[in-house]
Amino acid sequence: MTIPHDFKRTEAMALDLSWLNHIHVNKAAADRRAASLANRRSVKKEYQAAWLVKAIGLIDLTTLSGDDTPGRVERLCMKAMRPLRSDLVEALGISNVTTGAVCVYHEMIKPAVQVLQGRLPIAAVSTGFPAGLTSMETKVREIELSVAAGATEIDIVITRQHVLTGNWQALYDEMLAYRKACGEAHVKAILATGDLVTLENVAKASWVCMMAGADFIKTSTGKEGVNATIPVSLVMVRAIREFYEQTGFKIGYKPAGGVGTAKGALQYMTVMKEELGNEWLEPHLFRIGASSLLTDIERQLEHYVTGNYSAAHRHAQP
């Protein structure tokens, strides 16, 4: 991941509850805007192909299964470094295409480091993922161990009860401790939006995490009943936009869970372009957490090149 030389990483600031008190989300209006973004005519032909190649570089290629093995993670990393078949790369006239990062459990950092050798970021899920209900001491130590093992990004999960009970100080203190434990590693705050009940809770949790120094805010663990959605994404990216207007810090966004099709990826890219602009369509400010998305993108690009769709099983699985 190349970060612009003039990019200024966010810094934690004092918790300002007055910023939260003015937050009100018109759910009907948010749903209408989300529908208009999701349903507008998609880009076609060579423009769609270009957007899909762009999308590959935004993927956090992920495996977070109980049956993960070093071998599976090694294959994931190889796929991340060479996400498209060589014949498609040649036909499209592109080069140096990789995913944005790989995302794994702590125990799988070592095999990822051995394969990637610094060529791609390694994101590790942490802090008692996915529920986040281990002790604070354990969660902070987990971050420290993952950074020491070679993770350059840490995807933490917040304690949902802090949001559900309106204990914003506790959420802020928690996020602040996570940011400190990460050191130079960038931290993505997973809000688990499907558990937060209301869009106002999503907006307020986004603000608190950003004030406490989160580099990214992320929708979901992928393990909740409801994961990334366009309405939730709209609320979160608008919080990012307003935070930037207030502070000058650019915070990244990561939808995760259920983004498994090329069409879905294009919808989220459209949200970013329309709400935040082209600058946020770069991997240091936008990622898509996914495991099966890459296969569908590769199928769509093969259709663009050959005019035929292939079965998903014909493509190498990460």
Contacts of 303 (CB under 8 A, 6+ apart): 309
Instruction: Categorise residue 45: left if φ over 0, alpha if ψ from -120 to 50, beta otherwise.
Output: left
Catalytic-role residue among 195, 218, 250, 296: 218
Q: Tokens for 272?
A: 């970013």
Contact 174, 160 (CB under 8 A): no
Catalytic residue among 60, 139, 254, 296: 254
Q: Exposed e or buried b for every residue in 270-290, given b needs 16+ CB within 10 A?
A: bbbbebbeeebbbbbbbbbbb
Length reported for the chain: 318
Give the Cα separation of 184 and 46 in Å (integer).
39
Per annotation, catalytic residue among 155, 195, 215, 296: 155
Catalytic residue flag (residue 173): no
- Is 273 tagged catalytic? no
Cβ contact 59:53 at 8 Å: no
d(CA 14, CA 178): 15
Rounded-to-integer distance, Cα 205 and Cα 223, Å: 19
Catalytic site residue 218?
yes
Q: How far apart are alpha carbons 203 and 49 in whole angstroms?
A: 33
Residues with active-site annotation: 155, 218, 254
